[in-house]
Amino acid sequence: MSEIKTKCAIIGSGPAGFTAAIYTSRANLEPVIIEGPQPGGQLITTTEVENFPGYFEGVAGPKMMEDMRAQALRFGAHIISGRVTSVDFSKRPFTLEVDGGRDTVIAETVIISTGASARYLGLPDEQKFMGVGVSACATCDGFFFRKRPVAVVGGGDTACEEALYLANLASKVYMIVRRDVLRASKVMQRRVAEHPNIEILYNTQTVALTGTDVLEGATVVTNRGTENENRYDIAIDGFFLAIGHQPNTSVFAGKIDLDEQGYVKVRPGSTATNVDGVFAAGDVADPVYQQAISAAGMGCRAALDTERFLMTEE
């Protein structure tokens, strides 16, 4: 067991966390990054990133996170492998326990950048085809499916937005909707219903994904469990989940203010939480945009807010 003291602890190692580390390192705060259970965040599971500025030919998600990690280390950030399993924000300096007490980090300030995890259906082949057909971000990966058939799972506003976005790229978009109606707003329902490139499959569930090395199709069931049950296959190259995200904030419950969905609440125009000295950045505090570039920008803001907070105290 070791005890590490720092002016700034950063929880999470995605674009927000590493950007915050780069800025706080350059400000001589000597930050400590606790990587979390998936070092590099969600981009580790992304094959190609083409919409992040600077990579004009595109870059593999893991490579981009390796670059960010190396840049943070270059400026003096210290990285700890492991997961934060408990926090004490009741007094400063704050105390963070890593992996049940294997390490203890004592920090003057904390930046929470633990991200959010996409919800999946739990199908056996979802992970097999992750990055080679299965995605939870149409904006990120839709470009790779130009003039190819795809499916979107979900019936809310997000699913409709994803379907409309993909409909301008793909040859055909199936919307796989578990219920007999869409949960989306009326205007979104009308837009997808009127789009000639979108076919809505109501009362339908996906039961399997098929393919050898890449996704080639899906097996769906309509009216499952009834006398009208119908199982059939659809040929698709892309399978997009749009059934929501779960912010990775369970360890912070009761420690800082979270909204009804579990996202960290930040003050308007700031990355500050309700606890002085604790800041939040990236998808963990952003249920709307959830893009690498917006997470990185928020990581920059959190670092600047942290630096100003410490300077004000001094």
Is residue 137 among the annotated active site residues? Answer: yes
Is residue 140 among the annotated active site residues? Answer: yes
Q: Where are the alpha helices (DSSP H) in 185-256?
A: 186-194
Q: Which amino acid is at 240?
A: F
> Cβ neighbours of residue 125 under 8 Å, at least 6 residues apart?
208, 209, 210, 211
d(CA 70, CA 26): 14
Strand spans (E) along 81-237: 84-88, 94-98, 103-112, 116-118, 134-135, 149-153, 172-176, 198-201, 204-211, 215-222, 230-235
Task: Find the catalytic residue in 67, 88, 103, 137.
Answer: 137
- The helix/strand/coil state of 139 is helix
Number of H helices, E strands in the chain: 6, 17
Phi and psi angles of residue 139, each rounded to the nearest 5 degrees, phi first = -60, -35
Task: Find the catalytic residue in 8, 103, 140, 286.
Answer: 140
| Contacts of range 183-186, beta carbons closer than 8 Å, 24 or more positions apart | 183/155, 183/156, 183/157, 184/155, 184/156, 184/157, 184/159, 184/160, 185/157
In which residue are the tokens 């904030």 written?
249
CA atoms within 13 A on the CB side of 109: 28
Task: Find the catalytic residue in 99, 103, 125, 141.
Answer: 141
Is residue 283 among the annotated active site residues? Answer: no
DSSP 167: H
Establish whether the linkage from the previous residue to 93 is cis, with ω within 30° of 0.
yes
Question: Which residues form the catalytic set?
Answer: 137, 140-141
